[in-house]
Chain A
Amino acid sequence: MSSPAGDEALEFSAGSSRPARGLRAKLMQLSMILTALGVALLVVSSITVLWLRSNANQLALRRTPAAVATQRAQIGLQRSLAGLRGWVALGDEGFRSERATAWKEQIEPAIAAIRSYEGTWNDPADRARLTQLADLLVELKESQWWVEDVARTDGNQPALQIRRGRVEPIAVELRRVIDGLIAETGATPSRRARAALQAMMGFRDALGRAQHALARFVVEGEERWSRDFSQALSEAEASVQWIAAEPGRHALSKSDRVGYLARELPWYAQFAREALDARSSASWNVALYRMSTETIPLTRRTTELLDVLAASQGALMGRDTRLITFAGNTAMVSSVVLIVLMAAIAYALASYRAGQITRPISALSRATVELADGRLKRNLPVTTEDELGTLTDAFNRMRVRLQESEAALVKSNEQLHDANQDLERHNRFVRDTFGRYLSDDIVANLLDTPEGLALGGENREVTILMSDLRGFTSLAARLEPEQVVSLLNCYFGVMVDVITRHDGTIDEFIGDAVLVIFGAPIAREDHARAAVACAVEMQLAMGLVNEQNRGVGLPEVEMGIGINTGQVVVGNIGSDTRAKYGVVGSPVNLTSRIESYTVGGQILISEATQRAAGPILTLGDTLEIEAKGVDAPMTICEVLGIGGAYDLQLIEDAENLVTLTAPIPLEYVIVEGKHLDATLHHGTLVKLSSAGGEVLSEHVVAARSNIRVQLRPVGGPPVAGELYAKVMAPLPDGPAGFSIRFTSIPPEVTAMFARWIA
């Protein structure tokens, strides 16, 4: 996933402006459309679910609780009514609290619950019923209160109240009066008195029975007690009538009391009849009457109303249940339809949009293949303004650039071909020019791996060969420059062939000297043997060189070769603009020293080379020298040939020294490097050959010292020309002197020598 910053960077690197309507926007749009479809589906489903849940909630949280509350209210009503009945009938406080509890814990909470679900009562009739229910309940509660309030009061039973409040006081007084009369009358033992006493006792008995019957009737309400009362009252009234009928029958003391009886009994009868009437009336018990005429009908109406509401709620529940079932089925079907429909829409939209997006990509893909095959010759149409449009536009530009580049490449190839040919020619020139001085390996290495020319170096054990023409400096001084060059070209031409044949690396031509390395740049184990073999073959090739020299009238030359083996630094040495493969180290200098000890046709090697080359060497004399720059004396030896696969042997040049009949005096100075010693020594040349001689001299000269000789024949002028020689060794026996080997003989001297030898 690329970061927005990465996208920005890409856009900036592409150098294109942001598309008006990017691919990302299209993809986002497609995704958003699909998401929107999904969301729409989810929304529809959610709405359906919410609707279902709303209905289910209504059913579960409103209708069912409302129905339950309705039932609870009905139960509470019955409970309150039962409590009220219990209180009216038995007067137990428990019933009162039962009624109150029914209202507080059942009816009122249930009604509150019913009203709180008011939203479930959508039917106006139900709403009207709810209002009616509220009114009825208030009415019913008040009605119950009044029944309860009056139930246990004296006034609840008016008959009882009349009996107690009005009838009973009169009855008590009547009884007291009649008892007094009976007591007084009974004390009079007359016949009339006995009759009166009997009447009085009859009155008292009748009054008692009337009281009893009245009391029973008031309490029980049975009709027979009413009849008994009427009969007893009639008897009492008859008795009082009889008693009061004859005023003279009683003594004055009794007459007031009899009159009281006659006066009060009618009041007693009136009030008693009022009690009877009150007991006979329907409202003889106010509480029961109120309950039956008011409370119970109210309860019934309320219950009926609750029944209606419960039935209505039940119908609504049934409707809701059916509705939920129907809605569930509908939701399921509609969900399936919606899913299929939206999937189809999503597929069509995705397909359409994907086609819009991938069509340019496919075109680009085909165009890329055509471009790769080189068949695309026209631009692709840019049909969109998004990244694909930009890409197509860029592709078109790329195609144009590519075709331009292709043309340029063809042209460049042609130029490269030309340059390559030039380079080949140059290489050939290089090979032709330097191949004679360098081995093919180095040349190939230089040409093939230019990086090999990188400056640097490495320590490596190599064998260094240095050859030098003896007396060439003086020779060159005597020859014309063209002759010098011709001689050198001939010499180097032969030597380079030999050297390259032995894979030697010509490090440097130093005048007439050649510095050759074996074992670098291509490492080899037998570098010492190769160097020795090369040196032997170089000495053998000198015959060819001298033959060619002689053919062109040039003097013969001799070559000395010094070989040394040791650790050196090899590599490209110089600057970036000018460098050469070379070798640096003391072994190089020592090689030069060793070479300086050679005489013409001689090969001298160091002990290191001898050890490295092994026993295949054929060695000659061994010399111990004190080379300049070397602390200790060192041993060098002469190589005569090499065996093994090389099998090369130097041709022994037998030196035929001729004893001069007339020794020739001479003067000589020792050559120190390029300088001549200032001391002039004297000697006498006593033996002579074309290459060397023996000199008598008192001065001891170190072997291998170079000297310049001035021949001063007796009786003649000094021999012209500079004659150089190398002191070979002291004379073995006899007078002091040393043998010499000429290193440079002027032509006039050569002719003089020839005469002398002859």
Chain B
Amino acid sequence: MNRFAVVRHALLAFWVGVVGSAAWAQPDHSPSAVEPEPAAVSTPHVYAQLMLLHSDLDQIRFEMGKPKPTPRAIDIANVAPREVFFQVLTLFEKANRLSFEHTREIAEEPPLAEDPITPSDVIRVVEAALERINHVKQQIGISQLSSPPPLDTSKTPTDVLIATVAASRQLNLLLAQPFSPAEVYEQLTLAVGYTARLRARFPGDRLPENPPYVRGKQPTDVGRKLFDCLRLIERIAARSDLQMLTLRPNEENLVRVTPSDVYDMATLLVSELAYLWAQLDDVAIPRPAYYPGRRFPSHVYQRAELLERQLSELAALVDTAPSWLKSP
């Protein structure tokens, strides 16, 4: 992750609003939504664009001789537009990296959406990612254009998120330099920064004692730990009367999890923390995270455990003061 990504995450929360929008809640079922006006963009349009991106990625995969990602069932629910938005941003980041690897070009990230986030905000990022992918297609000599799929009006934000994750996983396989434990570590450090800001609402140290380094940890272990962290965030949100997605771990998926998958989870976790942080009125911007250099899953696990401790403390404090977001 480059420093722009850090800034992105830092600034993102200023623009992220409360859950959902009318557009997301009531998707537009118009069959001509592939190239709609921004105001008419609905979830199916976004989904259709994502499908287009999937098609392009499949062409690149074919050209590069890379494998298809193994299909995985994701047990996810209560997805909000903001969560889709953040995952789409991650998708763009990966697409940008792929573009860099092939063209040396690094595109500017799409501007952050203003509250409330709408499908048009999401589709803007999806299109930016699609542009990066097309750039790669051109670079590697693929001239075939993908056809936009027909609008499926039954698609929901959850379907969009699942499609985004699938695209992300495909991109992971296409990258020459895939997302490594170091980048997951960086995301988790960012999460620690967010949590420290949230923890500042309560007296006492914001960063617990660094847990001991345990050798031999696998991405699977990190994945499990991140699930634990997500559950804690869910608990905090529930106590704070906020709605968040619920992602349940799938043991089969966990066993086969890759650093890139963990990275996706980490970004999701950061997005949720950023959302919580955005609820606070006058809180300082979290400190940006920096590339840590080479890191092993054990390092990541150590940081994830630090985050888990932080979140546990915060959850315990929130239990005692559920209205903590309202009063400084």
* Interfacial residues, chain A to chain B (CB-CB below 8 A): 134, 138, 141-142, 145-146, 149-150, 153-156, 158, 161, 170, 264, 267, 286, 290
Question: Contact at B203–A142, with CB atoms within 8 Å?
Answer: no
Question: Is A156 a contact partner of B203 (Cβ separation < 8 A)?
Answer: no
Do B204 and A138 have beta carbons less than 8 Å apart? yes
Q: Which of B104, B290, B292 has the most CB of A within 10 A?
A: B290
Q: Mark B194-221, 1 if CB is under 8 A from A, else 0.
A: 0010001001111100000000000000
Identify which of A134, A141, A145, A153 contacts B293 (C-beta below 8 A): A153
B290 touches A145 (CB 8 A): no
Nearest Cβ on chain B to A326's Cβ, whole angstroms: 39
Contacts of A267 in B (CB 8 A): 104
Against A, the Cβ 8 Å flags (1 = close, 0 = not) of B159-201 are: 0000000000000000000000000001001000100100010
In the complex, chain B residues whose CB is within 8 Å of the CB of A264: 104
Given contacts A149-B189, A264-B104, contact A138 B205 (CB under 8 A): yes
Decide yes or no whether B309 CB sits under 8 A from chain A.
no
Report the Cα distance A264→B104, complex, angstroms.
8
Which chain A residues border B290 with CB–CB below 8 Å?
A: 150, 153-156, 158, 286
Assess whether B204 is in contact with A153, with CB atoms less than 8 Å apart.
no
Is the Cβ of A142 less than 8 Å from the Cβ of B189? Answer: no
Q: For chain B, which range describes its interface: under 10, 10 to 19, 20 to 34, or 35 or more residues?
A: 10 to 19
B291 in contact with A155 (CB, 8 Å)? yes
Q: Can you name 20 extra interface pairs (CB under 8 A) apart from A146-B193, A149-B189, A155-B3?
A: A134-B203, A138-B203, A141-B205, A141-B207, A142-B196, A142-B205, A142-B207, A153-B291, A153-B292, A154-B290, A154-B291, A154-B292, A154-B293, A154-B294, A155-B289, A156-B290, A158-B3, A161-B291, A267-B104, A290-B287
For B287-322 the 0/1 string (1 means CB < 8 A from A) is 101111110000000000000000000000000000
Q: How far is the CA of A145 from the CA of B287 in the complex (A)?
A: 11
- Chain B residue contacts of A141, Cβ below 8 A: 205-207
Contact B206 A155, beta carbon cutoff 8 Å: no
A153-B290, A156-B290 as given contacts; A145 in contact with B203, CB under 8 Å? no
Contacts of A146 in B (CB 8 A): 193, 287
List 9 tightest A-B contacts by C-beta distance, closest first: A155-B290, A155-B291, A154-B293, A153-B292, A267-B104, A145-B207, A142-B206, A146-B287, A153-B293
Contacts of B292 in A (CB 8 A): 153-155
- Which residue in chain B gives the minimum CB-CB distance to A142? B206
CB distance from A545 to the nearest CB of B (A): 149
Provide the residues of chain B in CB contact with A286, threshold 8 Å: 290
Residues on B with beta carbons closer than 8 Å to the beta carbon of A290: 287
Interface hub of B186, B193, B293 (most chain A Cβ within 10 A): B293
In the docked arrangement, what's the CA distance between A161 and B3, Å?
11
Query: What residues of chain B lie closer than 8 Å to A145, measured between beta carbons?
Result: 207
Q: Which A residues are CB-close (under 8 A) to B200?
A: 138
Which residue in chain A gives the minimum CB-CB distance to B288? A286
Nearest opposing residue in chain B for A96, CB measure: B210
> Which residues of A have CB within 8 Å of B104?
170, 264, 267
Docked Cα-Cα span, A141 to B289, in Å, equals 17
Give, as a whole number of angstroms, the nearest-CB distance from A157 to chain B: 9
Return 21 A-B CB contacts under 8 Å, by A number. A134-B203, A138-B200, A138-B203, A138-B205, A141-B205, A141-B206, A142-B196, A142-B207, A145-B207, A146-B287, A150-B290, A153-B290, A153-B293, A154-B290, A154-B293, A155-B290, A155-B292, A155-B293, A158-B290, A161-B291, A290-B287
Which interface residue of A138, A161, A264 has the most chain B CB atoms within 10 A?
A138
Per the bound structure, the CA–CA distance linking A236 and B21 in Å amounts to 55
A156 to B287, CA, bound (A): 13
In the assembled complex, the Cα of A145 lies from the Cα of B208 at a distance in Å of 10
Complex contacts, B196 vs chain A, CB 8 Å: 142
Q: How far is the CA of A134 from the CA of B204 in the complex (A)?
A: 8
Within 8 A of A (CB), among B257-303: 287, 289-294
B contact residues around A134 at 8 Å (CB): 203
- CA gap between A134 and B200 in the complex, in Å: 12
Is there an interface contact between A155 and B203, defined as CB atoms closer than 8 Å? no
> In the complex where A155-B186, A264-B104, A267-B104 touch, is A138 in contact with B291 (Cβ < 8 A)?
no
| Chain B contacts for A158, CB-based, 8 A | 3, 290
Give bound CA distance, A286 to B293, whole Å: 14
Residues of chain B within 8 A (CB-CB) of A154 are 290-294
Which partner residue on chain B sits nearest A141 by CB separation? B205
Measured CA separation A293–B130 after assembly (Å): 40
Chain A positions within 8 Å of B293 at CB level? 153-155
- Name B14-62 residues within 8 Å CB distance of A: none
Which single residue of chain A is at the shortest CB-CB distance from B192?
A: A149
| Docked CA distance A290–B288 (Å) | 11
Cα distance A267–B102 in the bound complex, in angstroms? 12
Cβ-closest chain B residue relative to A287: B290
- Please measure, in the bound complex, the distance between the C-alpha atom of A142 and the C-alpha atom of B287, giving whole angstroms: 10
**How distant is A587 from chain B, measured CB to nearest CB, in Å?**
132
A410 to B293, CA, bound (A): 138
Docked pose: A156 CA to B204 CA in angstroms: 28
**How far apart are the CA atoms of A158 and B293 in the complex, in Å?**
11
For B3, the closest partner residue in chain A by CB is: A158
Set of chain B residues within 8 Å of A150, measured between Cβ atoms: 290
- Chain B residue with the shortest CB-CB distance to A143: B287
In the complex, what's the smallest C-beta–C-beta distance from A84 to chain B, in angstroms? 14
Q: How distant is A353 from chain B, measured CB to nearest CB, in Å?
A: 66
A268 to chain B, nearest CB (A): 9
**Considering the chains assembled together, what is the distance between the CA atoms of A285 and B211 in angstroms?**
26
| B104, B203, B294 — most chain A CB neighbours (10 Å) | B104
Looking at A154, A156, A264, A290, the one whose CB has the most chain B CB atoms below 10 A away is A154
Closest to B182 in A: A154
Residues of A within 8 A of B287 (CB): 146, 290
CA gap between A145 and B195 in the complex, in Å:
14
A121 to chain B, nearest CB (A): 17
Closest to B200 in A: A138
Chain B, residue nearest A165 (CB): B291
Residues of A within 8 A of B3 (CB): 155, 158
Query: A606 CA to B206 CA in the complex, in Å?
Result: 146
* Residue with the greatest number of chain A CB neighbours at <10 A, chosen from B3, B186, B287: B287
Q: How far is the CA of A170 from the CA of B293 in the complex (A)?
A: 19
Report B-chain residues with C-beta under 8 Å of the C-beta of A155.
3, 186, 289-293
Q: Which residue of A lies closest to B196 (CB)?
A: A142
CA distance A119 to B112 in the complex (A): 51
Nearest to B209 among chain A residues (CB) is A100
Q: How far is the CA of A155 from the CA of B204 in the complex (A)?
A: 29
Tell me the bound Cα distance from A102 to B3 in angstroms: 32
Q: Which residues of A contact B207 (CB under 8 A)?
A: 141-142, 145
> B294 — which chain A residues lie within 8 A by C-beta?
154
A736 to chain B, nearest CB (A): 166
Q: Which of B198-257 contact A (CB under 8 A)?
A: 200, 203-207
Residue of B nearest to A158 (CB): B3
Residue of B nearest to A290 (CB): B287
Contacting residues, chain A, for B193 (C-beta < 8 A) = 146
Shortest Cβ distance from B175 into chain A, in angstroms? 14
How many angstroms from the CA of A161 to the CA of B290 in the assembled complex?
10
CB distance from B38 to the nearest CB of A (A): 33
Q: Residue of B at shortest CB range from A134?
A: B203
- Shortest distance in angstroms between B33's beta carbon and chain A's nearest beta carbon? 39
**Smallest beta-carbon distance B205→chain A, Å:** 6
A503 to B297, CA, bound (A): 153
Q: How far is the CA of A93 from the CA of B290 in the complex (A)?
A: 20
Q: Give the distance in Å from the alpha carbon of A155 to the alpha carbon of B288 in the complex.
A: 11
Distance between B291 CB and nearest chain A CB, rounded to angstroms: 4
Query: For B289, what are the chain A residues with a Cβ–Cβ distance below 8 Å?
Result: 155
Instruction: Tell me which of A138, A149, A153 contacts B206 (CB under 8 A).
Output: A138
Interface centre among A145, A158, A170 (most CB of B within 10 A): A145
